[in-house]
């Protein structure tokens, strides 16, 4: 058990250790971290979210920081490193204030006031972003993480994908090792990684595809807890041929509806594969639920699990469905769809780790761009927005006559950790550069920022150094609330308990297509209500 100042300082130390670890990863010239797990698998990244999600820690405050990073990622898709670094800096200045005799409750009030004011000032400083500025924002996020030509190529893909789909939920990102990052491509439609026909006699390419989507297993339901007695050999032969007849009739009904491509979320029975191939229908199984939903949006099809729903009205349309290969593994493209509202990005890389890391960056980038497009709200990057907020908070602090003034001023000082880290990670002297930056902002040049690639001061908007305003809002909210939450803790209690292993749930039977029989014959009427 820890209590009083010991508990508080221990918690602050834990948070600052995590923040200092991530601080050197901030910005386009931030350093990478090499993460090795128990199985000796490695990951090389400077993504704050990835680092926090892979490290193991037992300290409760460190776990609070990881949870805050998860919220930041979920809400805006970017800014996890900034949020954690700012939290650590706020706690560092809080500790200095406590050393000078200020009570944690006073610091908390000051921080809360400062956080609210900072959000108000942020709203005033935000501006709408054009398509060109969206590209600049994307390139700024990727700059320093990949080569300059690769950053430009990936930024164009990301901006175009957002222009097509509008929402990140309508954009699918897959990665495939091999090739170069510049081989990454945008597909107007849906791509299914490892997607292949279930039977070699099925067509590999279908133009003018009429698409059927099934979310059940394409098979006959096996009877459960049933006892079957057959004494007549002829009945035995008829019983063994039942599944064959059912599958043949089902495929005939699908063909009559006009479908020539079937995407199934689960398995397709072997006999169904055969009849689909005989009918010239392409069948694809084990399609993920999320991919099935994207296909629904793209093709205009309706997902079915019932034979009576299979009709021309539930089918979707795609101009081209084609199975191709990258290396030795298949991949399927569904393009020229009825609705031009989905996009897929196929990320390439020279190795598994490179391709996965680029995929992570593209996911973050797409999340940010889609939100900027929706809200049409951006702010100056390169530490400019933090410097301007710090300047305004210092002015605001002078209007507060109580002790909270000290906490508000410390909040302003803490905000400047972002431009300082950007300068330091670029290999330059933070003191000299911060003096110049403060001087420019004092003159009213609110857009003056530190351009890390060239290591000089630039007008953020003129050089395309902008960021999503929502990211900064969430950073301020997360850092302020988390720092205050940690400062409220004055006692750490460790509770021990005997853990009882959870009971294993019974395995649920798979959902399959149900084809009932009536008096030894296929009952088509009942069948129509069970697919």
Parallel/antiparallel/unpaired status of strands 205-214 and 261-264: parallel
What tokens were used for 75? 């809400």
For the four alpha carbons of 66, 69, 74 and 75, in that order, the dihedral sign comes to positive
- Torsion angle of the four alpha carbons 495, 501, 503, 505, in this order, in degrees rounded to the nearest 10: 100
123-140: buried (b, 16+ CB within 10 Å) or exposed (e) per residue?
A: eebbeebeeebbbbbbbb
Contact 264, 285 (CB under 8 A): yes
What tokens were used for 489? 């803790």
Q: What pLDDT band is residue 412 in, cutting at 50, 70 and 90? A: very high
Question: Can you give the pLDDT at residue 227?
Answer: 62
| 503: number of Cβ within 10 Å | 6
d(CA 271, CA 91): 66
Percent of the chain whose predicted confidence (pLDDT) is above 70:
88
Instruction: Return the CA Rg of the chain.
Output: 29
Of 10-19, 137-146, 480-489, 500-509, least confident by mean pLDDT is 500-509
Percent of the chain whose predicted confidence (pLDDT) is above 90:
57
Digit-coded pLDDT (tens) for 83-92? 999 999 999 9
Question: Can you give the pLDDT at residue 49?
Answer: 76
CA separation, residue 219 to residues 104, 228, 253, 271 (Å): 65, 20, 15, 9
Q: Which comes out higher in pLDDT, residue 148 or 37?
A: 148
Q: Fill in the DSSP letter of residue 342.
A: -
Parallel/antiparallel/unpaired status of strands 185-187 and 189-193: unpaired
Question: Can you give the pLDDT at residue 222?
Answer: 65
Give me the mean pLDDT over the 116-120 stretch. 96
Q: Which comes out higher in pLDDT, residue 140 or 124?
A: 124
Map out the domains of the chain with their CATH numbers. 2-127+378-492 (1.10.560.10), 189-339+514-525 (3.50.7.10)
Question: Can you give the pLDDT at residue 516?
Answer: 46
Question: Can you give the pLDDT at residue 496?
Answer: 60
Question: Can you give the pLDDT at residue 164?
Answer: 94
Q: Which of 109-118, 245-254, 352-361, 362-371 has the highest mean pLDDT?
A: 109-118
Of 42-46, 63-67, 190-194, 486-490, least confident by mean pLDDT is 42-46
d(CA 118, CA 386): 9
Q: Judging by beta carbons within 10 Å of its beta carbon (0-12, 13-18, 19+), is residue 149 exposed, middle or buried?
A: exposed
- Is the pTM higher than 0.85? The answer reads no
Q: Which of 34-38, 63-67, 209-213, 508-512 has the highest mean pLDDT?
A: 209-213
pLDDT at 530 > cutoff 70: no
Question: Can you give the pLDDT at residue 366?
Answer: 93
Q: What pLDDT band is residue 42 in, cutting at 50, 70 and 90? A: confident
CA separation, residue 178 to residues 181, 328, 332, 348, 526 (Å): 9, 11, 17, 6, 50
**Averaged confidence pLDDT in the chain:** 87
d(CA 171, CA 187): 10
Residue 515 sits at φ, ψ, to 5 deg, of -120, 95
State the Cα angle at 128 between 167 and 417, rounded to 5°: 95
Contact 67, 18 (CB under 8 A): no
């Amino acid at each position: 058990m820890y209590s009083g100042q010991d508990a508080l300082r221990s918690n602050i130390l834990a948070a600052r250790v995590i923040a200092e670890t991530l601080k050197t990863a901030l910005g386009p010239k931030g350093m990478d971290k090499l993460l090795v797990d128990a199985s000796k698998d490695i990951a090389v990244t400077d993504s704050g979210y990835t680092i926090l999600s892979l490290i193991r820690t037992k300290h409760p405050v460190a776990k609070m920081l990881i949870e805050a990073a998860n919220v930041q990622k979920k809400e805006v898709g970017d800014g996890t490193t900034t949020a954690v670094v700012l939290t650590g800096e706020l706690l560092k200045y809080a500790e200095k204030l406590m050393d000078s005799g200020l009570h944690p409750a006073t610091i908390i009030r000051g921080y809360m006031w400062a956080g609210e004011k900072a959000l108000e000032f942020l709203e005033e400083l935000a501006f709408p972003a054009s398509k060109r500025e969206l590209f600049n924002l994307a390139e700024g996020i990727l700059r320093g993480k990949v080569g300059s030509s690769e950053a430009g190529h990936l930024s164009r893909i990301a901006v175009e994908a957002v222009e097509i789909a509008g929402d990140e939920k309508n954009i699918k990102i897959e990665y495939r090792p091999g090739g170069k990052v510049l081989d990454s491509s945008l597909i107007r439609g849906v791509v299914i990684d490892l997607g292949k026909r279930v039977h070699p006699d099925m067509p590999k390419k279908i133009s003018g595809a009429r698409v059927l989507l099934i979310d059940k297993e394409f098979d006959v339901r096996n009877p459960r807890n049933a006892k079957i007695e057959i004494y007549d050999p002829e009945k035995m032969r008829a019983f063994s041929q039942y599944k064959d007849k059912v599958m043949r009739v089902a495929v005939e009904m699908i063909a009559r509806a006009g479908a020539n491509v079937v995407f199934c979320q689960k398995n397709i029975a072997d006999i169904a594969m055969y009849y689909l191939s005989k009918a010239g229908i392409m069948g694809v199984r084990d399609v993920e639920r999320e991919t099935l939903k994207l296909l629904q949006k793209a093709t205009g099809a309706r997902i079915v699990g019932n034979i009576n729903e299979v009709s021309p009205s539930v089918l979707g349309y795609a101009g081209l469905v084609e199975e191709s290969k990258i290396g030795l593994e298949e991949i399927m493209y569904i393009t020229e769809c009825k609705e031009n509202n989905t996009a897929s990005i196929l990320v390439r890389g020279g190795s598994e780790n490179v391709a996965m890391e680029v995929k992570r960056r593209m996911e973050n980038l797409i999340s940010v761009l889609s939100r900027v497009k929706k809200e049409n709200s951006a702010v100056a990057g390169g530490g400019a927005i933090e410097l301007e907020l710090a300047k305004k908070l210092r002015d605001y602090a002078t209007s507060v006559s109580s002790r909270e003034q000290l906490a508000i001023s410390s909040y302003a000082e803490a905000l400047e950790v972002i431009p300082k880290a950007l300068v330091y990670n670029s290999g330059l002297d933070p003191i000299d550069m911060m003096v110049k930056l403060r001087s420019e902002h004092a003159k009213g040049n609110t857009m003056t920022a530190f351009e890390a690639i060239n290591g000089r001061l630039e007008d953020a908007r003129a050089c395309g150094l902008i960021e999503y305003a929502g990211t900064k809002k969430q950073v301020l909210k997360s850092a302020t609330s988390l720092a205050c939450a940690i400062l409220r803790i004055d006692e750490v209690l460790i509770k021990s308990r005997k853990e009882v292993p959870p009971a294993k749930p019974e395995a649920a039977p798979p959902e399959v297509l149900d084809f009932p029989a009536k008096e030894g014959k296929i009952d088509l009427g009942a069948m129509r209500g069970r697919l």
